[in-house]
Structure 1
Amino acid sequence: MHNTARVMIDVKADVLGVVEAESRPVLAAFNKEIIGAMGGTPFRHVMVIDGNDERSIDVGLVTRDGYPIGMMRSHVDDQDEKGNPLFSRDCPVFFITTPTGNPLVVLVNHLKSKGYGSVTANNAKRRTQAERIKSIYEELIADGQENIAVIGDLNDTPESAPLMPLLTDSDLKDAFAHPAFDDGGWPGTYGLCNASNKIDYLLLSPALFERIEKGGLFRRGMWPGSRPVRWEVYEELKRKQDAGSDHAAIWVDIDI
Structure 2
Amino acid sequence: MTVRIATFNAENLLSRFDFSGFRNELRQDRVSQLYDFANEAEYRHAEIARAVSLTDDTRQLTALAIAEADADILCLQEVESLDTLHRFEYGYLFKMIGDGYRHKVLIGGNDSRGINLALLAREETLDGARIEVLDVTSHAHLTYEATGLYTPDLHDLAKPHDKVFKRDCLEVDLKIGAKRLTVYVTHFKSMGSPRAGIDGRTWTMPVRVAEARGVRQIIARRFGADGGGKRYVIAGDFNDYAERVVITGDRRNGYHFTPAIEAESAVHVLTADGFAENVVQRRPEMDRWTLYHTRGPEERHLCQLDYLLASPALTRTSRDRLPHIIRAGQPWRTLFPHGQAVDRYPRTGWDRPKASDHCPVAMTFDLV
Query: Under a length normalisation based on structure 2, what TM-score does the superposition of the two structures give?
Result: 0.63
**Alignment partner of 1:162 is 2:266:** yes
Within 2, Cα distance between the matches of 1:145 and 1:50? Answer: 31
Residue 104 of structure 2 is matched in structure 1 by 46
Residues 15-62 of structure 1, C-alpha deviations (whole Å, 9 max, x = no match): 010010101111122123321134533311111110001211111100
Within 2, Cα distance between the matches of 1:140 and 1:33? Answer: 39
Query: Which residue identity lines up with residue 90 of structure 2 in the other structure?
Result: K
Identity of aligned residues (%): 25
Residue 125 of structure 1 is matched in structure 2 by 207
Equivalent pairs counted in the alignment come to 252
Which region of structure 1 is more displaced relative to structure 2, 217-226 or 87-96? 217-226
**Alignment partner of 1:186 is 2:276:** no
Which region of structure 1 is more displaced relative to structure 2, 18-27 or 167-176? 167-176
SS of residue matched to 1:240:
coil
**Alignment partner of 1:209 is 2:315:** yes
SS of residue matched to 1:126:
helix
**Alignment partner of 1:137 is 2:195:** no
Within 2, Cα distance between the matches of 1:79 and 1:170? Answer: 27
Residues 219-253 of structure 1, C-alpha deviations (whole Å, 9 max, x = no match): 11112437668322112324321111111111111
Residue 200 of structure 1 is matched in structure 2 by 306
**Alignment partner of 1:84 is 2:148:** no
1:152 to partner: Cα distance: 0.5
Say which one has the larger Rg: 2
Within 1, Cα distance between the matches of 2:137 and 2:274? Answer: 21
Within 1, Cα distance between the matches of 2:345 and 2:235? Answer: 25
SS of residue matched to 2:291:
coil
Residue 281 of structure 2 is matched in structure 1 by 177
Gaps of 5+ in 2: 1-58, 125-130, 146-159, 243-261, 295-299
SS of residue matched to 2:169:
coil
After superposition, the Cα gap between the structure-2 partners of 1:227 and 1:166, relative to the gap in structure 1 and judged at 3 Å, is: closer
Q: State how 1:1-256 maps to structure 2 within 5 Å.
A: 1-38=59-96, 40-66=98-124, 67-81=131-145, 82-98=160-176, 100-115=177-192, 118=195, 119=200, 122-142=204-224, 146-158=230-242, 159=262, 160-169=264-273, 171-178=275-282, 181=283, 186-191=287-292, 196-212=302-318, 213-225=321-333, 230-256=341-367
Within 2, Cα distance between the matches of 1:34 and 1:235? Answer: 15
Gaps of 5+ in 1: none
Instruction: Confirm or deny: 8 A CA contact 1:95 1:106 kept in the other structure.
Output: yes
